[in-house]
Structure 1
Amino acid sequence: MKSTEPAWHEFALQLNYAGSLEAHFGAARIVDQSGGSRVTEFTASGERWTAKLYYQESGICDPGDVLPTGTAWEFDGVREHRIAIQRHGEEDPVGEQKLNAHIRPRWDGMRVEQSDGSRRKLDVPFREGVNVVLSGSNVDAQRYQPLLRGAATALGLNPGHFRDPHDSSTVRDGERYVRVHCDASGPIHARDGPIAQMGHLLENDRSGYRKVVQNDDNDHGENLPGYYHTVTLGPSRVREAFPEHTVPVEIKHYYAREALSRSKDDPLRHPKLGVSYQVSRWDGSVGVTPDELADLERELDRTLRAVLEDAGVTMTPGAGGGPFVEDAYFDADLTELEESEQPPKLNLTRIRNEQESIVIRQLMANGGLSEVEEEALGTLVTDGGKVSPADIAEEHSRHVGSVRRALRRIDDMVEREYGSVSLRSPHVAEMVHDAVQQFREASRSVTEAAGQALLSAERGLSDATSALMTWCAKHGVDVDNRGEAIEAIRLGEIDSDRRRPGDPLRGVRWELREGLKRWLESGRDREAFANATVRWREEDRGRRSLPASAILR
């Protein structure tokens, strides 16, 4: 398979260097000696770079003369330092190949001031050291730390302060991208394309990290199909599509704001397809060693290529004969991939079929939905916010234990987390919606048939008959054509807390007595009620049925 090598766009590291505050002290001395800032040049891998060291005010509280760790503090207040690192303008006319290192002192027991003026203690995973947030764009991720050390050396700061990051150091952001010709990118952002389909099949119905965006209008209100289309997948969704992958990602097709004003000869007229690491979407982390950075790059690239392959973009020529457009930082040439770089197949049809199979299997199990299951699914389909079992129970006047048991029985269709419950995906939600509608239509048909039989027999509704019809509607009662005898009574699920040792039919009997009371009050014969078949469901024994006479005696 031929593909192109994606390029790094944004990237950021959170680096902790433990053991000493010398990096902070050294930066302070250089800034003071240089009148507030120092600018220099250096060479890295044969390239020219510039570096500027400067300072900014800090929200770290003044520790006084001595830190809580016992180290002397010889400054009035606290300042933080930055090193701006940029490719020399003669070698990067665009000016977007750059990094910035934000250097902050850290010590055990330090306090910081909040925006509202309050103060809090900051957790520091070591006794003393510095924290460096190193962020940038259009630079290979493996070069960030070496470039920081090269800049430090050129500025007169010991590069040894920025070696051997502490284990608490992590990647905070990272995006790999390709630039696709605008004539070839349509299948990526199409309504049936991989971005939309992943959102439809792999996104939780209402989870906190759900993000599917399909915006075809730019900031000026002009229509540009595919202007900003994204889908965000948390770790479990990523593994569903790519079993070997772990990190949460955002897959994004997007144009520059000024794209429509550019000619097709300008790279900015053509969209990017990017895959970025989403650190806020999980509790895990990615470390900063070369091997860990390589693993992250591999997952991002494999995901990106899988999307391209699914959309058929690698086989679709653009205006210039190829699907990709070269820019200042992305090389559009196609190369043959090594076997280890081959992307996984994005088999969305398989995922769709699996979800449909799950729904069908659940709906067919034990003869269909119980009343509590139908109520729970109905709420999940129609409610747009966070829903808990207690919310469902309150809405339908059910015991919360009954709702939880019903949710366990339909476990494959729903996801439960932190006291909330949601449907597995929008595709599952659509299938469930159809099933619930069919269930309710069937219930209405039964109710209408029962009501019509009663109405024709009564020739006008008394209060007693109206009460009886309400009870019949609730329990899906089947009556004969004349409305004089009941053939079947469906009670749905009977809560286990309404059953007693030695009297397992207590809850069923209570419901029947209510119905019998209304039947008799409307002037009907007791025997016609007692001959009915009663059907209900119990959690531990499944569906059951008995003659009403056997339950009432």
Structure 2
Amino acid sequence: MSRYVKAAPHEGDIRFTVGVHPDEHVTDHGLAPYYAMDSLIKDWGDRWETDGKPTEDIQFMGETWATCFDYSKSGLDPWENPEFEIEQVREFQFYFVAKDSPHYSGERADHDDRVKGGTITVRPRWPDLTSDGKPVSVPDYGAPYIDVQVQASNFPHEEYLTLVKRVMDAYGIAARYFDQPHPDSHIDDLAYYVRLFRGESGPLYAPDGPIARTHTLIQGDRSGYRKHVEDHTKIPGYYVTTTVEDEKAGELVRGHGLGKELKHYYPDEPDEFDADEAPYHPKFEVSYQTARTDETVRWSDLKDTRRELEETLLNCLEWCGLATSAESDAFVPFDPYWTLGDTHEARKLVKCPLPEIESEQEHRVMQLWGEMTDADRDVTELLLTDGGKVSPQEAAERTGNTYRTVRTVIERMEGLIRHTYGEMELTSKKVQQELLKRVRAAGDRFEQSIETAAMDLADAADERQNSEWARLRREYAISVVDRDDCRKMLKVGYQPTDEDEARSIVREIKTTYQECVERSVFGVHVAVSLADGTRKRWRDLRDAFQKSVERQSRQEKHNRQAREIFDFEAWKEAGCPPADEWGSGG
């Protein structure tokens, strides 16, 4: 049987519905546990002022945990029911923290949130619930009950309900009240991670890694939720994340259906730690995103949810050529909240689908580009430039085509344009980029570009390959212009978005020209017009970039030194200590 590294549980947010149950054989306790908590406040009496909040130690998972009881105003109106005699409706909080954790500060449980621990929040519910006389939207089961929310981190999610019963019992509240929560009890947040040594995790956050490519290839052009963040300011891979919606999850791993986030990250100040400390090294985490998942994930679904999140994590490691077993020396063995080891639980690893998706999208663009009509081009350009969602009727009005023509375009360009619920979009960021490149390069030479694309397809079918230089000339619409002030002028028809993209293209031109045309680029100039109309000219490709890199290196060194001096002095003057790793960021 295969063995896979067992990911560590991180954050969890689980809500238990307690006191009511659809099974007639299960006793409905209603608000009984809530009344018990209210009595606890009254029994404690004046000691709130003299002794402080009630505290208790418990034994849980072989460790000693500190707990603390507190309450706050709920904002709810009292229940208009003769049996409800409480004038002020409260919410109750139970704080808990593992005292045996290596980073426990010794503070009271409600003051120490940096280590293994969390909170239990209890809220009363009943039919026709109101706040300031206005209805409050909560599940109505026709009888009173309590909502028990557990928010915690760094211990198994499977143990959350057991912990609730252990804490309640410590305060004299019958644990049996919590034996059988309602089937509607559900999961709002769930995360699992592995921690890899620095230098090992680079393939995960690389431009061609699973985080970036997932965003580019499987998220729609403009529908749904799109989020991709790359922050390399403090260290490469400092914070790189992308979100996958539930309807797209199956494109990564067949059978998956949860919205989730893939995240590679370090603590706030990674270089505040030494190499033998866990926070010096990054985490790779996969977390369930309830806002990106249409279906509610129940407490009873926990096992399947954990399996899907761990499978996503393991597959990403596998696709990068990283280890999927704890036997590898890529994983950090001294994370205080993760016992490094393997699991024998079944986990599905699949061949990475991203290269095939990318190849198929590129081929589809080339194929349909070679068959495009003027109407196809009109609709494509509208989708590339419009900032919002476009309906077929609106597309017809804005392009001057008939509605029937636009519908024909949608059918003909299946695979590039997605049409759902009366709205149109390009199928992925990759398709958008490929089409945008061709539209910009074609310019007024649209018909010629279409003919060239058709010839490219014919060449591919006959397995004839043009030179890389010929391909590059077509891709960027490069023409050779005779000029008196240089040996050769290469004019680029494609319009880059900004100067950074232009530099990247010119570097590619230089490399390919030297490999395919001639080694000497002395006197070879390149002219480019940016999308905003700015004209740029690179003179003498032989040493243009060499000088630029030298200047940039000197300037970057100066800037870095200035930042270090400023940061040190500013922090010192402000009296600020370094950020602590052991919050949610670490």
Normalising by structure 1, we get a TM-score of: 0.71
What CA distance in whole angstroms lies between the structure 2 residues aligned with 1:104 and 1:84?
A: 15
Q: How does 1:191-230 map to 2 (within 5 A)?
A: 191-217=207-233, 223-230=234-241
Q: What does residue 134 of structure 2 align with?
A: 119
SS of 1:351's equivalent in the other structure is: helix
SS of 2:54's equivalent in the other structure is: strand
> How many percent of aligned residue pairs carry the same amino acid?
28
Instruction: Name the CA shift for 1:87/1:315 in 2 (closer, same or farther; >3 Å).
Output: closer
8 Å contact from structure 2 (residues 122, 147) kept in 1:
yes
What CA distance in whole angstroms lies between the structure 2 residues aligned with 1:359 and 1:216?
A: 32
Q: CA deviation at 1:164?
A: 1.9
8 Å contact from structure 2 (residues 214, 242) kept in 1:
yes
Instruction: Name the CA shift for 1:315/1:103 in 2 (closer, same or farther; >3 Å).
Output: closer
1:261 paired to 2:272: yes
What CA distance in whole angstroms lies between the structure 2 residues aligned with 1:273 and 1:22?
A: 43
Please, which of 18, 26, 45 is the counterpart of residue 61 of structure 2? 45
Q: How does 1:73-112 map to 2 (within 5 A)?
A: 73-89=84-100, 93=104, 96-112=115-131
8 Å contact from structure 2 (residues 278, 332) kept in 1:
no
Instruction: Name the CA shift for 1:299/1:363 in 2 (closer, same or farther; >3 Å).
Output: same
Q: What does residue 73 of structure 2 align with?
A: 57
SS of 2:238's equivalent in the other structure is: strand
Instruction: Name the CA shift for 1:260/1:391 in 2 (closer, same or farther; >3 Å).
Output: farther
Instruction: Name the CA shift for 1:155/1:361 in 2 (closer, same or farther; >3 Å).
Output: same
Q: What does residue 38 of structure 2 align with?
A: 28
Q: CA deviation at 1:108?
A: 1.0
Alignment deviations for residues 434-490 of structure 1 (CA, whole Å, 9 cap, x no partner): 4445665444769xxxxxxxxxxxxxxxxxxxxxxxxxxxxxxxxxxxxxxxxxxxx
SS of 1:412's equivalent in the other structure is: coil
Q: Which moved more, 1:94-103 or 1:264-273?
A: 94-103
Please, which of 178, 181, 196 is the counterpart of residue 194 of structure 2? 178
1:270 paired to 2:268: no
Q: CA deviation at 1:89?
A: 4.6
Q: CA deviation at 1:45?
A: 3.3
| 2:215 aligned partner, one-letter code | G
Q: How does 1:353-368 map to 2 (within 5 A)?
A: 353-363=359-369, 368=371
Q: What does residue 14 of structure 1 align with?
A: 15
Q: CA deviation at 1:276?
A: 0.2
Q: CA deviation at 1:184?
A: 0.9
Larger Rg: 1
| 2:134 aligned partner, one-letter code | R
What CA distance in whole angstroms lies between the structure 1 residues aligned with 2:324 and 2:297?
A: 34
Q: What does residue 553 of structure 2 align with?
A: none
Q: CA deviation at 1:418?
A: 4.3
Q: CA deviation at 1:288?
A: 0.4
Q: CA deviation at 1:193?
A: 1.5
Q: What does residue 318 of structure 2 align with?
A: 309
SS of 2:254's equivalent in the other structure is: coil
Q: What does residue 506 of structure 2 align with?
A: none
Structure 2, gaps ≥5 residues long: 21-27, 106-113, 450-586
1:370 paired to 2:376: no
8 Å contact from structure 2 (residues 209, 320) kept in 1:
yes
What CA distance in whole angstroms lies between the structure 2 residues aligned with 1:444 and 1:314?
A: 50
What CA distance in whole angstroms lies between the structure 2 residues aligned with 1:83 and 1:413?
A: 53
Q: What does residue 352 of structure 2 align with?
A: 346
Structure 1, gaps ≥5 residues long: 218-222, 447-553
What CA distance in whole angstroms lies between the structure 1 residues aligned with 2:36 and 2:402?
A: 66
Q: What does residue 580 of structure 2 align with?
A: none
Q: CA deviation at 1:241?
A: 1.2
Alignment deviations for residues 174-232 of structure 1 (CA, whole Å, 9 cap, x no partner): 11001111111111111121211111111211223111111111xxxxx3111110111
Alignment deviations for residues 74-99 of structure 1 (CA, whole Å, 9 cap, x no partner): 11121111111221256763751113
Q: CA deviation at 1:44?
A: 2.3
Q: What does residue 340 of structure 2 align with?
A: 332
1:134 paired to 2:150: yes
What CA distance in whole angstroms lies between the structure 1 residues aligned with 2:394 and 2:181?
A: 47
| 1:112 aligned partner, one-letter code | S
1:386 paired to 2:389: yes
| 1:120 aligned partner, one-letter code | P
Whose strand fraction is larger, Structure 1's or Structure 2's? 1
Q: CA deviation at 1:315?
A: 8.6
Q: What does residue 5 of structure 1 align with?
A: 6
Q: What does residue 512 of structure 1 align with?
A: none
Normalising by structure 2, we get a TM-score of: 0.67
8 Å contact from structure 2 (residues 251, 353) kept in 1:
no
Alignment deviations for residues 252-299 of structure 1 (CA, whole Å, 9 cap, x no partner): 00010011222212211111100000110121121102xx21111111
Please, which of 144, 162, 178 is the counterpart of residue 146 of structure 1? 162
What CA distance in whole angstroms lies between the structure 1 residues aligned with 2:149 and 2:326?
A: 41
Instruction: Name the CA shift for 1:208/1:393 in 2 (closer, same or farther; >3 Å).
Output: same
Q: CA deviation at 1:391?
A: 3.7
Instruction: Name the CA shift for 1:225/1:90 in 2 (closer, same or farther; >3 Å).
Output: closer
Q: What does residue 177 of structure 2 align with?
A: 161
8 Å contact from structure 1 (residues 188, 253) kept in 2:
yes
8 Å contact from structure 1 (residues 7, 329) kept in 2:
yes
